[in-house]
Amino acid sequence: MSQPPKFVVIGGVAAGPKVASKIIRLMPEADVTVVEKDEFLSYAGCGLPYYISGVVKEQKELMSTPVGVVRDPVFFQKVKNVHVMNRTEAMEIDRSAKRVRIRNLADGQESWLDYDKLMLATGASPVVPPIPNVKLDNIFSLHGVDDAEGIKALLAENKAKDVVIVGGGLIGVEVTEAMAQRGCRVTIVEMLPQSLGMMDWELARLAEQHMESHGVKVMTSTKVEAFEGDGKVSAVVTDKGTLPADMVVMAIGVRPNVGLAKDAGLDIGETGAIKVDDHMCTSDPDIYAGGDCVESVDLVTGKSCYVPLGSTANKHGRVAAVNICGGDDRFPGVLGSTVCKVFDYCVARTGLTETDAREAGYDVVSVLAPAPDKAHFMPDAKPLLLKLVVDAKTRKLLGAQATGPGVGDRRVDIVAMGITAGMTVDQLANVDICYAPPFSPAMDNIITAANVARNKLDGLMVGVSPMEVHQMQANGKDFVFLDVRSPGEYEQVRLAGSTHIPLGALRGRLDELPKGKEVIAFCKISLRGYEAALILKAAGFENVRVMDGGIVMWPYEKQQ
């Protein structure tokens, strides 16, 4: 009787457990061993901020099945028939002998594991730059359960009143909410000109303003130079001053763990992560890899990219397992689809930002389209601020972004499907998606955004972004900044330098506007601004544009 095939999986958080479980489903007789250097297995790392905030009550909920069974070694052995060796580190891959040297971290004993196929799911490690005193106590990275417990302990002891988050990416922003909800004074320090670097600046700025409205101080274009403290951190020194700090969370990003693969001579990609093909196979036909240690392919540009996400890791694991077992499954790539919760705002994106699309050489048409996320007459309708990015040459979808308290993930997901299918903005505009007042407007937000893009592409509307308008004002350019909102709206809030003529009065007051000047029309969301532009063009005004997104998506100061 032949021996069952031996499969070894290195890594037990996301991709590793997924590949092990799928192998057993496909090949029940297989001998599968998972090697994990930490104690905890198959936990939801993305849930750690919500464990800190108290939304998730117990640690075990992050590593349990939907019915509450904790995924520990006993669970994997009895339910999955997978042997798990936690607190065990993989030290070396001997490709010629097809074996892995491992070390038990409890007693230091070393041994070898033979394999027929090997899966690398070694994940990533937090970036910790060589900042002076970075190893002081109470400086965390929130990359695992231990960090989360340390943070929770300080919060429980009421010893973290002033918290500095270094880095304004996904983890930094999500942990910011958790800290603020626990009563901390929170400052985000970001070296780049904006937080949430996966978004275009204006969408990120709107999210930053929302954080600031909840008492969070956001310092962009700011560099951390040192930490101060006697044993434990007490201050963060930046190039814009010193901040008091009882706790610091380093959230600069992560780097793929490729040491094992590199030492074994496996190919490393241009992003610094392990290079794999669409079968998740490395340069060794008997070694597969997936999760945060590998690079992916950008579905829009076709170029290599590094986008570490738990959702992607699980897909990697399934594809790898099918192929390890002799099947033929493929992972095509990613769009960088991401969503995070910023207090009561949804912040989501997919595909290319406008900035990335221009850098990639696309002739871009972009749209800012704010509107209620359901029929405006529904009492629970909430604002949703959308951005759509389209290739002017092919009219194909390139990307989408959303922010605001409205439901944004569904609209961004629709665009992700559209990009994957190679859809044009014209096809998106007529997609038959669900409608009922409690769920969406009759013309859904994403369909309205698509139609605005079509109007621009067809020359029916000429838009200008709020950033361009702001720059024109800063440069002293002479133009008419025409606000066509109602008098009541204008009294509540207005933009500097604007001329106010309500839309209903515009036809009778055209003589107040100089025909020789450029006119940029806007309103709350620029629907009335678009109608004003049509009226002006019909009256002989030749240089008329509409400010995208209106006053709702103006990311600068407003006059009250």
Q: Can you spell out the DSSP letters for 214-247?
A: TT-EEE-S--EEEEEEESEEEEEEEBTEEEE-SE
Residue 330 located in a structural domain: no
Residue 174 CA from chain centroid, whole number: 11
pLDDT (mean) for 520-543: 96
Residue 336 located in a structural domain: no
Across the beta sheet with 99-104, the strand order is 88-94, 99-104, 110-114
Say if residue 248 is in the same domain as residue 260.
no
With tokens 């490395």, the residue in question is 282
Run of H or E residues at 118: strand 117-120
Number of domains in the chain: 4
**In terms of residue numbers, what domain contains 306?**
6-124+255-324
Say if residue 114 is in the same domain as residue 168.
no
pLDDT band of residue 86 (cuts 50, 70, 90) is: confident
**DSSP conformation class of 438:** T
Say if residue 161 is in the same domain as residue 236.
yes
Distance CA 496, CA 73 (A): 63
Say if residue 33 is in the same domain as residue 93.
yes
Residue 134 located in a structural domain: no
Say if residue 447 is in the same domain as residue 350.
yes
Phi, psi for residue 471 in degrees, rounded to 5: -70, -40
Distance CA 165, CA 155 (A): 15
Question: Strand pairing partners for 339?
Answer: 348
Say if residue 106 is in the same domain as residue 45.
yes
Distance CA 518, CA 533 (A): 11
Residue 332 located in a structural domain: no
Q: Residue 95 in 3-state DSSP? A: coil
Is a pLDDT exceeding 90 seen at residue 178? no
Distance CA 237, CA 160 (A): 18
Catalytic residue among 46, 346, 434, 523: 46
Say if residue 495 is in the same domain as residue 480.
yes
Residue 509 located in a structural domain: yes
Domain edge (last residue) among 438, 457, 476: 457
Say if residue 390 is in the same domain as residue 310.
no
- Quick one: which of 106, 104, 101, 105 has its CA closest to 90? 101
pLDDT one-digit tens code per residue, 443-452:
999 999 999 9
Domain edge (last residue) among 426, 442, 457: 457
Planar angle of CA 415, 418, 419, nearest 5 degrees = 90
Domain edge (last residue) among 213, 236, 252: 252
Residue 334 located in a structural domain: no
Is a pLDDT exceeding 50 seen at residue 162? yes
Run of H or E residues at 455: helix 445-457
pLDDT at 247: 95
Catalytic residue flag (residue 523): no
Phi, psi for residue 331 in degrees, rounded to 5: -110, 110
pLDDT one-digit tens code per residue, 459-501:
999 999 999 999 999 999 999 999 999 999 999 999 999 999 9
- Quick one: which of 45, 33, 28 has its CA closest to 73? 33
Say if residue 40 is in the same domain as residue 119.
yes
pTM, two decimals, is 0.92
pLDDT (mean) for 13-30: 93
pLDDT at 98: 98
Distance CA 413, CA 339 (A): 10
pLDDT band of residue 3 (cuts 50, 70, 90) is: confident
The one-letter amino acid at 459: G
Q: Count CB-CB contacts under 10 A for residue 512.
A: 11
- Poorest-pLDDT segment among 9-18, 67-76, 280-289, 354-363: 67-76
| R_g of the chain computed on alpha carbons | 27
Say if residue 31 is in the same domain as residue 113.
yes
Residue 130 located in a structural domain: no
Say if residue 372 is in the same domain as residue 294.
no
pLDDT one-digit tens code per residue, 324-346:
999 999 999 999 999 999 999 99
pLDDT at 1: 47
Distance CA 324, CA 145 (A): 30
Say if residue 357 is in the same domain as residue 453.
yes
Residue 559 located in a structural domain: no
Distance CA 112, CA 103 (A): 9
Report the share of the chain in percent with pLDDT over 90: 83
CATH of the domain at 186: 3.50.50.60
